[in-house]
Structure 1
Amino acid sequence: MAQNQQVKAHRSGRPGAVSRWMQQTMNARMMRKIRRGRATFMGMHVLILNTVGHRSRRPRETPVSWFPGGDDAWLIVASGGGSQDPDWYVNLMAHPEQAAIELAGGDAVPVAPHRLDGADREEAWERITAAQPRYAKYQGKSDRRFPVVRLTRR
């Protein structure tokens, strides 16, 4: 039975139970480090994205890498989630008015998310992949176009 559930999760484009457990464990560890003042991971800036569940409306926290997006703005890429957008992105877009970020060692800052499209997305994508070529590699392995979101201070 458990094996059938794992196969079903894999076919649906969603991570299986073991993969989700590993991700949750690593996310919790990374968030502790960010809150203690660690600003980078694997050469990338990281922050904690605070959202609420799109159905449950329960608080959610996710460590996410970010890139400079201009004055008081941060760019994030919804690259995880397999063949579907990651849960954090779905939550962020469902309840944008409740979004906040925590930078290394800092308090939560309310932000407004804006999904970038067209030339704005392309310009941001070029800057992101120039800074971290691994994102172009990730995109090349996916059948969906990764959303790029600009977070601005509210």
Structure 2
Amino acid sequence: MSDDSRYIKTDISLLNQEHVARYRETNGEVGHIWNGATALLLTSIGNKSGEPRTTPLIYASDGDDYIVVASMGGAPRHPAWYLNVERNPQVEIQVLDKVMPATATTVEGPERERLWQVVTAQWPNYDQYQERTERRIPVVKLTPNT
């Protein structure tokens, strides 16, 4: 059971493609901090279109890796970006002004549990999102390619 007192009411004045555009225009000065959490831009190859698709996502850091969650607010289906990285884990991420290739990996088992704690410390709403859905929300590690 999640603690409702930790739920963050979100300001959605900067959302989706507008978020992407402002983040890119300002090298993250606008958009890196979103509702008190850190956000990055994930560009994956569209599962159906084969075209690049960019999504702003809340992230937490774990060493050199960036951890994102395929929550979609607790929707019953996985978000499109997650389906994209399942098919092609080679992605590009932008964190502030740093753009880098990375590999996306869905984490499982004890590592998932540990990283769930890391990401819910950054965005407590993930616990409530998990309660809203019967699917197990994926936790994804983005490892920069060096």
TM-score bin (small chain)? 0.7 to 0.9
The match for 1:53 among 30, 46, 49 is 46
Q: How many angstroms does 1:149 deviate by? A: 0.5
Secondary structure of the structure 1 residue equivalent to 2:85: helix
Considering fraction of residues, name the structure with more strand: 2
Higher relative contact order by CA 8 Å / sep ≥ 6: 1 or 2?
Answer: 2
Larger Cα-atom Rg: 1
Given that 2:68 and 2:119 are in contact with CA atoms closer than 8 Å, whether structure 1 keeps it comes out as no
- Provide the residue aligned with 2:143 in structure 1: 152
Q: Report the equivalent of 2:66.
A: 74
Runs of at least 4 residues off by over 6 Å: none
Over the aligned positions, Cα root-mean-square deviation in angstroms equals 1.7
Q: Count matched residues.
A: 128
Task: Check conservation: 2:61, 2:67, Cα contact below 8 A.
Answer: yes
Which structure is higher in helix share? 1
Superposed CA deviations along residues 20-74 of structure 1, whole A, max 9, x for unmatched, are: xxx9x9311111222212221001100110011112211111111100121x210
Q: Identical aligned pairs, as a percentage? A: 32
Tell me the equivalent position of 2:3: none
- Paired residue for 2:99? 108
- SS at the partner of 2:72? coil
Distance 2:23 2:116 in 1: 25
- Asked if the contact 2:65/2:141 (under 8 Å) is kept, the reply is yes
TM-score w.r.t. the length of structure 2 is 0.81
- When normalised by structure 1's length, the TM-score is 0.77
Unaligned runs of 5+ in 1: 1-22
